Amino acid sequence: MKRYSFSSIFTEAFRDNLGWEKAWTKRQPKKEYQIIIVGGGGHGLATAYYLAKNYNITDIAVIEKGWIGGGNTGRNTTIIRSNYLQESSIGIYEKSRFLYETLSQDLNYNVMFSPRGVLMLCQTEHELRAMKRTSHANRINGVDTKMVAPEKVKEIVPIINIDGPRFPVLGALWQPRGGTARHDAVAWGYARKCSDYGIDIIEQCEVIGVKKKREKIVGVETTKGNIKAKKVCFVAAGHSSVLADLAGFRLPIESVALQALVSEPIKPIIDCVVMANTVHGYLSQSDKGELVIGGGADGYNNYSQRGSFLHIEETVRALVETFPVISRLRQLRQWGGIVDMTGDRSPIISKTPVDGLYINCGWGTGGFKAIPGSGWATAEMIYNEQPGKLASPFSIDRFSEGRLIDESAAAAVAH
């Protein structure tokens, strides 16, 4: 693989840019692999990448139904933060945020990680108390966050209306090392590096069946033929239940559409991420100048990748109240993704009832921020055939054993 560097840009500039290679090679499936990862989004590619990088396994296929990064990896609002309440969540999300810091160098691909700061507003007394508790939990666990007063909020975000008519800002939880990254670049960067390691990336290949022998996985049946494998990992976000059905078990997951939108591009007006959880809306500005806006998920199960109109209305209403200056902006685009919600709004990284079959799902509305950490933990689990320290709190057993991970107080909008 040709490295991206100043000198390569310099030489290519004199050759009409004809020397660039394709970022990753499109492959047809081989007959057999050691490991198959089903799902070529951020989490799946990161899993394959860390298996190769940390454990030297490269006999891997990443199978994707559509195209790389075409699912939720390309449909989120790109927010990265780790200001969670519980130790287990802080562990994996902070690991992830930490990996994001050097991801561009690690992948030799500019993922445009921008630690611009994440501000979570407190707009009721209860929220203020909950956030104070979170800030203490963060401090104990070594996550750099602090509570800031309303005047400081106004200083960080001058366009905010801190004495709103319904919900005045009473304070905020500020994580200065949180921020955003270019979501497509994360998928593309991992795909390029995986391809470089010799991992096969197979696009336009849907899994339509699971091959088992005495409750042990032996391969998958796809639209491009049968592929054998010793280990298989499902990393399919909203469609995890569909895959689990093929493998003959059910997951404690419900799929819901979550949508986001961007405004027309304007000059820079906001240089951090603001999340207003009470009124349901979050806002940041992309490098192109569009305001990136996200809100709540639909109130009923669906796979429509559209989302219902009333949630856009609610989100925009809330944000116009918080940032009156944006009231005349027009919406440029809107899109939806299918998120996999668990009962406790925490992910599942776990073994399954089928031997040799692993699963990584349930990230709900907050999966993008977790991509590197989740890949790291899943790779560790697949290699050792049991979850490591990061992944073990997130096993499927936690539902039947009653050790749910209570993140409702620390969660953002819908999580």
Partner 1 sequence: MLNLFCPICQRDCDETELSCGGQAHLLRRDYASSDKDFYEYLYERKNDKGIIFERWRHVYGCGKWFHTARCTLTNQVFGSYSAKEVQPPKSILATIRRSRVDFKGWVK
The answer to the question of residue 239 lying near partner 1 (CB under 8 A) is: yes
Residue among 161, 302, 331, 392 that touches partner 1 (CB under 8 A): 302
Residue among 304, 327, 386, 408 that touches partner 1 (CB under 8 A): 304
Shortest spacing between CB 189 and partner 1, in angstroms = 30
How big is the CA angle at 368 (ends 107 and 168), to the nearest 5 degrees? 130
Shortest spacing between CB 23 and partner 1, in angstroms = 31
Number of residues that bind partner 1 (CB under 8 A): 23
Residue among 59, 254, 321, 355 that touches partner 1 (CB under 8 A): 254
Residue among 76, 123, 255, 365 that touches partner 1 (CB under 8 A): 255
Q: By C-beta, is 34 or 334 nearer to partner 1?
A: 334
Residue among 149, 242, 266, 332 that touches partner 1 (CB under 8 A): 242
The answer to the question of residue 339 lying near partner 1 (CB under 8 A) is: no
Residue among 25, 70, 399, 409 that touches partner 1 (CB under 8 A): 399
Shortest spacing between CB 59 and partner 1, in angstroms = 31
Residue among 137, 236, 253, 370 that touches partner 1 (CB under 8 A): 253
The answer to the question of residue 251 lying near partner 1 (CB under 8 A) is: yes
The answer to the question of residue 408 lying near partner 1 (CB under 8 A) is: no
Q: How many CB atoms lie within 10 A of CB 2?
A: 11
Shortest spacing between CB 362 and partner 1, in angstroms = 11
Residue among 225, 299, 324, 353 that touches partner 1 (CB under 8 A): 299
Evaluate whether 159 touches 270 at the Cβ level (below 8 Å): yes
SS3 for the chain is CCCCCHHHHHHHHCCCCCCCCCCCCECCCCCEEEEEEECCCHHHHHHHHHHHHHHCCCCEEEECCCCCCCCHHHCCCCEECCCCCCHHHHHHHHHHHHHHHCHHHHHCCCCCCECCCEEEEECCHHHHHHHHHHHHHHHHCCCCCEEECHHHHHHHCCCCCCCCCCCCCCEEEEECCCEECCHHHHHHHHHHHHHHHCCEEECCCCEEEEEEECCEEEEEEECCEEEEEEEEEECCHHHHHHHHHHHCCCCCEEEEEEEEEEECCCCCCCCCEEEECCCCEEEEECCCCCEEEEEEECCCCCCCCCCCHHHHHHHHHHHHHHCHHHCCCCEEEEEEEEEEEECCCCCEEEECCCECEEEEECCCCCCHHHHHHHHHHHHHHHHHCCCCCCCHHHCCHHHHHCCCCCCCCCCCCCC
Nearest to 62 by CA among 106, 111, 108, 29: 29
The answer to the question of residue 223 lying near partner 1 (CB under 8 A) is: no
The answer to the question of residue 303 lying near partner 1 (CB under 8 A) is: yes
The answer to the question of residue 343 lying near partner 1 (CB under 8 A) is: yes
Q: By C-beta, is 299 or 324 nearer to partner 1?
A: 299
Among 6-14, 57-65, 297-305, 381-389, the segment contacting partner 1 (CB under 8 A): 297-305
The answer to the question of residue 403 lying near partner 1 (CB under 8 A) is: no
Shortest spacing between CB 196 and partner 1, in angstroms = 35
Shortest spacing between CB 256 and partner 1, in angstroms = 10
Residues 305-334 that bind partner 1 (CB under 8 A): 306, 308-310
The answer to the question of residue 20 lying near partner 1 (CB under 8 A) is: no
Binding residues for partner 1, rule: CB under 8 A, are 239, 241-242, 245, 250-255, 299-304, 306, 308-310, 343, 399-400
